[in-house]
């Protein structure tokens, strides 16, 4: 069996090892030390037997196996190598391995390096098996490549060019790739043995970048020898992206563009002739093949020229003049972002220098373009959106809080400020962070923190790529691979997946926070005119705010100043919170209003230590607060009166509706204490519950029915308590005993009130002693009570009250305001048509005497749930509804979108349900409810409405109700129709739980829902048949 066959068997044929999580969690797997090293040692002994070495003993003596990521893989790799050495016997290798087993200088450092490499990288083990003599490169003192002269750019270039010599064709390709991998072998050995990988990660990247440049140079040498031996064509290779910035990882596409020049050299104003261009193109094509094409020796990486002018459609090579023309007139914003990292790396040095000189300034002028910042940011968001959801969490490069977020934050600020400040015009991410911190564009501690995160993420990325030398940034899914990764990332301490997962989560969270704050923090410093901290001028700060979506940046800056200037504790904390807050507000529908509200809150709570503590300590609360302030004017308005409610945001339980009984008790205690002057306290209580419900709605914590129930309960309690207060004021000792009840109709009766509903009510009373009542003029007294109740309930001393409207009472405005129960009975007895009772279907006692309310209900039940509804009555109802449709719809309103009276609107659905209640209520107890949805559910349950029709009606009703609430929450005013204003529609969509940008989708959804509902209503309520169709047969399916 040859080495490679054996290796394949191991990789593919081995069953998954059982994983012991608990043991791994404690670090150092006891089962491993008991069994694995012994298997590993078996492999080592086999190798010793093959070569006559003493590697096993040496490894044991130096305690090497325990330090490895995967001792078994390491030993097996060594065995494969030994087989290759035994077969080929390359000069000096046997000797070196023998020396490694003793402590002879010929084997200095060889065994630990070899085991580290074979234990961590299958790809490099394969390289060693292919080229056993490369083992000799791992002998030596101290780091092999890092920090030494051999890693200097020129030295690397010389080494690779020398390896190629004057070879051409396949031999040249093999020599180049082999020499490149020998260098990678040395680098990986240095990297894996480094005590603190995060400290050298930038140097590792730098060497990889220069090594890539050297490979391109050597590749170009080969291509020239093959295609242009006379050296007639001038080409320079410009590296973009990571290679350009000197921060390449182990395996990555290398982004380049190619420049060429005329026969007269770099400064020749004449473009190259046709023949020269063809030669140059074939050289570049050959170069790409030499580096990344298929050959006996595996490819290095892809050379990608897609960032060239016009992308993949553009010509491969251009002259400096052509580049200049393109960047002047054609290039898109993101192309300048790419230019930021460009650097000539190979080919004609003078041509490269000239290119850099002529194009560098474009990067720094890009910021003058309109919409530049937003364009670049939108690009970043798109990248995140495009990641498959299950990958996003495992992606350490593109995912949220990943490498790209760090790079992006740095680049954006460089692009924004580099125009005026040359000190931040650097290529690498770490250099950029340092410079930005130094010059005050980001806070120094932010710069340092981001750099630390970046280094760690890069180490993890490198460790992900070392095993197979494949381009990947995805964290492994299997525990086995996670364990190996953890053991290569951490050199000491616990080397467990648990630690790695925690550390990564922590780093990504920090990166995310930095990323969110970094743009706004300097604005803050500019607003507080703290020139020590920042060099951002006020004008620059305003421009940045405008770029991020504030309509009135000047005023916004004023708010920021007011919040954050000075040395008060509040200012200090606002300075901490604002960077993130501004970012969140900017993503809301109305950032300017949100910021103003935040300022007002800050001013009213300036001295509340709990508020400042909340801001400082609870990021999620601040996030919620930003959402509320920038989305709901109604809620914001209530918050101004009750700023302490901000605290509820920190505690989801406090956003739950209060129990009705508890609320009632609280209200009646207020009446007990304040008697006739309880009004203001009761309005406070009522608005407090409105606010609680509104907050829960805006934050998406409750559905529409629960919200409606909470609002109705609050209204019931409020009216009941106001009545008690009014009676405490007006009833004197001389007033005869009487009961008084308020009967709600309409939406309050249905317990489905919104944020702004007039309450339709009727008043009823019952004297204990009718004779005495008559004598004392009780009728006049109760009228006073009713009037006082309506007045007190609606008194709007800045807080919302309830407008009680009694126009629906018997005989309307001309009838008495308050009637006795007997009077109601007498009135209703005169009715002849059951349809007249329709309005009573939603009558519900909400305040006052419970017995009287119950008796009222007893009185009307036979009316509203009659045993029989004659066809004539149904026809009457249909006619009435049809007439209302044409008469009640306000002038200019759109029949398709009017939420209440339009086709498929609230009234359509409610009448349909009410007709069913009227007809079948006497027989089906579930229909005897004043609320629309429960009645509809009961109708579906009893087969009175088909399930699909029921779903359609429910959906339309819910959406119309939801839209009314959302419009109210957004702007604090009612909306009669589907909003036309796009901003308002967008706000409603977000309040109804749609993704941002769904305004049009909401409009489509409502129109469709209403259209469907109208069809059902026409069938169920109006009883229209499909009789207008000329050819009924045509409607049948095939």
Partner 1 sequence: MAMSKQQEFVLRTVEDRDVRFIRLWFSDVLGQLKSVAIVPAELEGAFGEGIGFDGSSVEGFSRVFESDMVLRPDPATFSLLPWRGEKEPTARMFCDIHLPDGGSAPADPRHVLKRTLERAAEAGFSFYVHPEIEFYLFESGDLAGGEPVPVDTAGYFDHVNGGTANDFRRDAVQTLEAMGISVEFSHHEAGPGQNEIDLRYADALTMADNVMTFRAMVKEVAVEQDVYASFMPKPLSDQPGSGMHTHVSLFEGETNAFYEPGAEYQLSEVGRRFIAGLLHYAPEISAVTNQHVNSYKRLWSGHEAPSYICWGHRNRSALVRVPQYKSGKASSARIEYRGMDSAINPYLAYAVVLAAGLKGIEDELPLPPEAEDDVWSLTDGERRAMGIRAVPRSLDHAVSLMEDSELVAETLGEEVFDYFLRNKQAEWAAYRDQVTPFELNRLYRTL
Tell me if residue 268 falls in helix, strand or coil. Answer: coil
Q: What are the tokens at 565?
A: 């200037």
Nearest to 1007 by CA among 899, 919, 907, 867: 899
Q: How far is the CB of 543 from partner 1 (least distance, A)?
A: 18
Exposed, middle or buried by CB within 10 Å (0-12, 13-18, 19+), for 95? Answer: middle
Pair type for strands 804-805 and 759-767: parallel
- Examine residue 1030 and tell whether it contacts partner 1 (CB under 8 A): yes
Query: How big, in percent rounded to 5, are the helix, strand and coil portions of the chain?
Result: 65, 5, 30
Torsion of CA 20, 23, 25, 28, to 10 degrees: -120
C-beta neighbour count of 42 within 10 angstroms: 15
Tell me if residue 146 falls in helix, strand or coil. Answer: coil
CB 795 within 8 A of CB 802: no
One residue of 492, 886, 995, 1033 binding partner 1 per CB under 8 A: 1033
Span from 422-430, 737-745, 957-965, 1006-1014 in contact with partner 1 (CB under 8 A):
1006-1014
Q: What is the DSSP letter of 977?
A: B
- Examine residue 333 and tell whether it contacts partner 1 (CB under 8 A): yes
- Which residues have CB under 8 Å from 809's CB, separation 6+? 762, 763, 815, 817, 819
Exposed, middle or buried by CB within 10 Å (0-12, 13-18, 19+), for 80? Answer: buried
The Cα 544–Cα 407 span in angstroms is: 19
The smaller minimum CB distance to partner 1, of residues 327 and 648, is found at: 327
Q: What is the DSSP letter of 385?
A: H
Integer-rounded Cα Rg, in Å, for the chain is: 40
Residue ranges in 938-967 that form contacts with partner 1 under rule CB under 8 A: none
Q: What are the tokens at 80?
A: 């494969």
The smaller minimum CB distance to partner 1, of residues 502 and 1000, is found at: 1000
The smaller minimum CB distance to partner 1, of residues 579 and 902, is found at: 902
The Cα 513–Cα 620 span in angstroms is: 12
- Which residues have CB under 8 Å from 910's CB, separation 6+? 932, 957
The smaller minimum CB distance to partner 1, of residues 190 and 986, is found at: 986
* Packing angle, helices 274-292 and 197-227, rounded to 10: 130
One residue of 165, 1015, 1019, 1022 binding partner 1 per CB under 8 A: 1015
The smaller minimum CB distance to partner 1, of residues 503 and 1011, is found at: 1011
Q: How far is the CB of 1002 from partner 1 (least distance, A)?
A: 11
- Examine residue 1003 and tell whether it contacts partner 1 (CB under 8 A): yes
As beta bridge partners, residue 819 has 764
- Examine residue 12 and tell whether it contacts partner 1 (CB under 8 A): no
One residue of 894, 947, 996, 1023 binding partner 1 per CB under 8 A: 894
Give the torsion sign (CA, 548, 550, 552, 553).
negative
Residue ranges in 983-1002 that form contacts with partner 1 under rule CB under 8 A: 983, 999-1000
Q: How far is the CB of 332 from partner 1 (least distance, A)?
A: 5
CB 41 within 8 A of CB 56: yes
The Cα 404–Cα 512 span in angstroms is: 11
The smaller minimum CB distance to partner 1, of residues 427 and 896, is found at: 896
The smaller minimum CB distance to partner 1, of residues 775 and 882, is found at: 882
Q: How far is the CB of 1007 from partner 1 (least distance, A)?
A: 3
The smaller minimum CB distance to partner 1, of residues 8 and 982, is found at: 982
The Cα 310–Cα 326 span in angstroms is: 9
Q: What angle do CA 215, 134, 189 make, to 5 degrees?
A: 80
Nearest to 516 by CA among 458, 590, 442: 442
Span from 88-96, 468-476, 823-831, 1023-1031 in contact with partner 1 (CB under 8 A):
1023-1031
One residue of 147, 369, 587, 879 binding partner 1 per CB under 8 A: 369
Q: What are phi and psi of 996, to 5 degrees?
A: -55, 145
Q: How far is the CB of 154 from partner 1 (least distance, A)?
A: 39
**What is the separation of C-alpha 969 from the centre of its chain, rounded to a whole number of angstroms?**
24
Q: How far is the CB of 890 from partner 1 (least distance, A)?
A: 14
The Cα 492–Cα 460 span in angstroms is: 15
Q: What are the tokens at 59?
A: 């490894």
Q: What are the tokens at 9?
A: 């068997």
Span from 1-9, 68-76, 701-709, 1026-1034 in contact with partner 1 (CB under 8 A):
1026-1034
**What is the separation of C-alpha 295 from the centre of its chain, rounded to a whole number of angstroms?**
44
- Examine residue 310 and tell whether it contacts partner 1 (CB under 8 A): yes
One residue of 481, 896, 900, 942 binding partner 1 per CB under 8 A: 896
Q: How far is the CB of 953 from partner 1 (least distance, A)?
A: 17
Q: How far is the CB of 1030 from partner 1 (least distance, A)?
A: 5
- Examine residue 88 and tell whether it contacts partner 1 (CB under 8 A): no
- Examine residue 887 and tell whether it contacts partner 1 (CB under 8 A): no
Q: How far is the CB of 978 from partner 1 (least distance, A)?
A: 10
Nearest to 279 by CA among 237, 231, 319: 231
The smaller minimum CB distance to partner 1, of residues 45 and 1011, is found at: 1011
Span from 160-168, 527-535, 632-640, 1028-1036 in contact with partner 1 (CB under 8 A):
1028-1036
One residue of 474, 982, 993, 1024 binding partner 1 per CB under 8 A: 982
The smaller minimum CB distance to partner 1, of residues 148 and 946, is found at: 946
* Size, binding site for partner 1 by CB under 8 A: 32
- Examine residue 377 and tell whether it contacts partner 1 (CB under 8 A): no
The smaller minimum CB distance to partner 1, of residues 567 and 1037, is found at: 1037
One residue of 329, 386, 389, 567 binding partner 1 per CB under 8 A: 329
- Examine residue 332 and tell whether it contacts partner 1 (CB under 8 A): yes
CB 121 within 8 A of CB 187: no
- Examine residue 980 and tell whether it contacts partner 1 (CB under 8 A): yes
| Per-residue binding letters, 338-357, with partner 1 (x by CB under 8 A) | --------------------
Residue ranges in 55-84 that form contacts with partner 1 under rule CB under 8 A: none
Exposed, middle or buried by CB within 10 Å (0-12, 13-18, 19+), for 445? Answer: exposed
Span from 211-219, 324-332, 663-671, 860-868 in contact with partner 1 (CB under 8 A):
324-332
One residue of 330, 772, 796, 826 binding partner 1 per CB under 8 A: 330
- Examine residue 1031 and tell whether it contacts partner 1 (CB under 8 A): yes
The smaller minimum CB distance to partner 1, of residues 179 and 333, is found at: 333
The smaller minimum CB distance to partner 1, of residues 332 and 661, is found at: 332
Q: What are phi and psi of 819, to 5 degrees?
A: -125, 155
Exposed, middle or buried by CB within 10 Å (0-12, 13-18, 19+), for 292? Answer: middle
Q: How far is the CB of 51 from partner 1 (least distance, A)?
A: 56
Which residues here bind partner 1, judged by CB under 8 A? 310, 329-333, 369-370, 894, 896, 980-983, 999-1000, 1003-1004, 1007-1008, 1011, 1015, 1028-1031, 1033-1038
């Amino acid at each position: 069996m040859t080495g490679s066959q054996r290796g394949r068997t191991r990789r593919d044929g081995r069953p998954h090892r059982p994983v012991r999580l608990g043991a791994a969690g404690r670090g150092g797997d006891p089962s491993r030390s008991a069994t694995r090293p012994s298997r590993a040692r078996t492999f080592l002994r086999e190798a010793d037997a093959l070569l006559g070495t003493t590697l096993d003993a040496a490894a044991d003596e130096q305690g090497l196996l325990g330090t490895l990521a995967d001792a078994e893989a390491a030993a097996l790799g060594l065995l494969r190598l030994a087989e290759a050495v035994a077969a080929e016997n390359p000069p000096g290798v046997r000797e070196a391995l023998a020396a490694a087993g003793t402590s002879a200088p010929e084997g200095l450092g060889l065994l630990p390096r070899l085991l580290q490499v074979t234990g961590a990288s299958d790809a490099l083990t394969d390289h060693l098996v292919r080229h056993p003599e490369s083992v000799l490169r791992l002998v030596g003192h101290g780091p092999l490549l890092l920090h030494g002269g051999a890693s200097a750019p020129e030295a690397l270039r010389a080494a690779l060019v020398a390896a190629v010599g004057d070879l051409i064709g396949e031999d040249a390709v093999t020599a180049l790739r082999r020499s490149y991998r020998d260098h990678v072998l040395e680098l990986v050995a240095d990297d894996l043995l480094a005590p603190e990988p995060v400290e050298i990660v930038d140097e590792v990247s730098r060497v990889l970048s220069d090594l890539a440049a050297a490979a391109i140079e050597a590749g170009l040498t080969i291509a020239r020898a093959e295609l242009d031996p006379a050296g007639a064509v001038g080409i320079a290779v410009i590296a973009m992206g990571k290679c350009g910035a000197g921060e390449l990882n182990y395996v990555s596409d290398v982004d380049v563009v190619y420049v060429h020049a005329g026969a007269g050299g770099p400064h020749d104003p004449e473009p190259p002739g046709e023949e020269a261009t063809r030669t140059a193109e074939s050289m570049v094509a050959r170069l790409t093949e030499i580096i990344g094409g298929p050959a006996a020796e595996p490819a290095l990486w892809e050379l990608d020229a897609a960032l060239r002018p016009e992308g993949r459609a553009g010509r491969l090579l251009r002259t400096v003049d052509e580049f200049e023309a393109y960047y002047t007139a054609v290039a898109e914003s993101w192309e300048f972002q790419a230019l930021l990292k460009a650097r000539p790396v190979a080919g004609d040095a003078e041509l490269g220098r000239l290119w850099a000189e002529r194009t560098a300034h474009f990067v720094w002028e890009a910021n003058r373009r309109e919409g530049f910042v937003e364009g670049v940011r939108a690009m970043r968001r798109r990248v995140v959106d495009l990641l498959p959801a299950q990958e996003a969490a495992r992606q350490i490069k593109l995912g949220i809080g990943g490498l790209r977020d760090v790079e992006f934050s740095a680049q954006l600020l460089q692009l924004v400020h580099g125009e005026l400040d040359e000190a931040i015009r650097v290529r690498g991410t770490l250099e950029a962070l340092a410079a930005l911190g130094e010059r005050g564009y980001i806070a120094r501690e932010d710069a340092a923190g981001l750099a630390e995160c970046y280094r760690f993420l890069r180490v993890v990325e490198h460790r992900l790529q070392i095993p197979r030398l494949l381009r990947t940034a995805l964290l492994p899914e299997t525990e086995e691979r996670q364990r190996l990764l953890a053991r290569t990332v951490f050199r000491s301490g616990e080397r467990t997946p648990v630690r790695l997962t925690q550390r990564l989560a922590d780093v990504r969270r920090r990166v995310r926070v930095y990323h969110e704050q970094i743009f706004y923090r300097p604005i803050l410093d500019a607003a507080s005119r703290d020139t020590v901290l920042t060099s951002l001028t006020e004008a620059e700060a305003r421009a940045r705010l405008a770029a991020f979506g504030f309509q009135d940046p000047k005023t916004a800056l004023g708010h920021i100043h007011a919040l954050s200037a000075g040395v008060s504790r509040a200012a200090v904390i606002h300075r901490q919170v604002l960077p993130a807050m501004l970012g969140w507000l900017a993503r809301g529908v109305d950032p300017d209003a949100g910021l103003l509200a935040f300022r007002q809150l800050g001013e009213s709570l300036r001295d509340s230590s709990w508020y400042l503590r909340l801001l400082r300590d609870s990021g999620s609360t601040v996030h919620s607060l930003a959402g509320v302030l920038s989305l709901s004017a109604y809620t914001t308005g209530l918050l101004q009166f009750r700023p302490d409610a901000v605290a509820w945001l920190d505690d989801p339980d406090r956003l739950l509706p209060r129990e009705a009984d508890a609320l009632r008790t609280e209200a009646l205690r207020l009446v007990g204490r304040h008697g006739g002057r309880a009004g203001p306290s009761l309005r406070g209580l009522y608005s407090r519950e409105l606010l609680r419900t509104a907050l829960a709605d805006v934050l998406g914590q409750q559905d529409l029915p629960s919200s409606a129930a909470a609002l109705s309960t609050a209204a019931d309690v409020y009216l009941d308590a106001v009545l008690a207060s009014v009676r405490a004021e007006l009833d004197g000792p001389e007033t005869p005993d009487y009961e008084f009840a308020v009967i709600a109709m309409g939406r309050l009766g249905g317990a489905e009130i919104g944020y702004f509903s007039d309450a339709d009510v009727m008043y009823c009373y019952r004297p204990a002693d009718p004779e005495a009542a008559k004598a004392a003029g009780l009728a006049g007294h109760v009228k006073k009570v009713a009037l006082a109740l309506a007045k007190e309930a609606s008194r709007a001393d800045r807080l919302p009250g309830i407008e009680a409207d009694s126009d629906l009472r018997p005989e309307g405005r001309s009838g008495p305001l308050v009637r006795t129960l007997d009077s109601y009975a007498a009135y209703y007895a005169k009715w002849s048509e059951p349809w007249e009772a329709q309005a009573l279907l939603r009558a519900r006692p909400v305040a006052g005497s419970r017995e009287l309310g119950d008796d009222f209900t007893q009185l009307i039940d036979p009316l509203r749930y009659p045993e029989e509804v004659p066809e004539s009555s149904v026809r009457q109802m249909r006619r009435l509804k049809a007439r209302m449709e044409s008469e009640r719809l306000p002038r200019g309103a759109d029949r398709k979108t009017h939420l209440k009276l339009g086709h498929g609107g609230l009234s359509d659905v409610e009448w349909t349900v009410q007709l069913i209640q009227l007809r079948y209520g006497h027989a089906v107890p579930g229909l005897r409810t004043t609320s629309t949805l429960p009645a509809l559910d009961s109708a579906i349950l009893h087969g009175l409405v088909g399930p699909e029709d029921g779903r359609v009606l429910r959906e339309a009703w819910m959406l119309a109700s939801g839209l009314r609430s959302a419009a109210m929450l957004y702007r604090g005013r009612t909306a009669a129709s589907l909003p036309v204003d796009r901003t308002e529609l967008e706000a409603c969509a977000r309040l109804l739980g749609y993704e941002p940008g769904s305004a049009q989708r909401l409009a489509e959804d409502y129109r469709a829902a209403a259209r469907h509902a109208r069809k059902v209503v026409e069938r169920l309520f109006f009883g229209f048949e499909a009789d207008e169709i000329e050819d009924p047969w045509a409607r049948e399916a095939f």
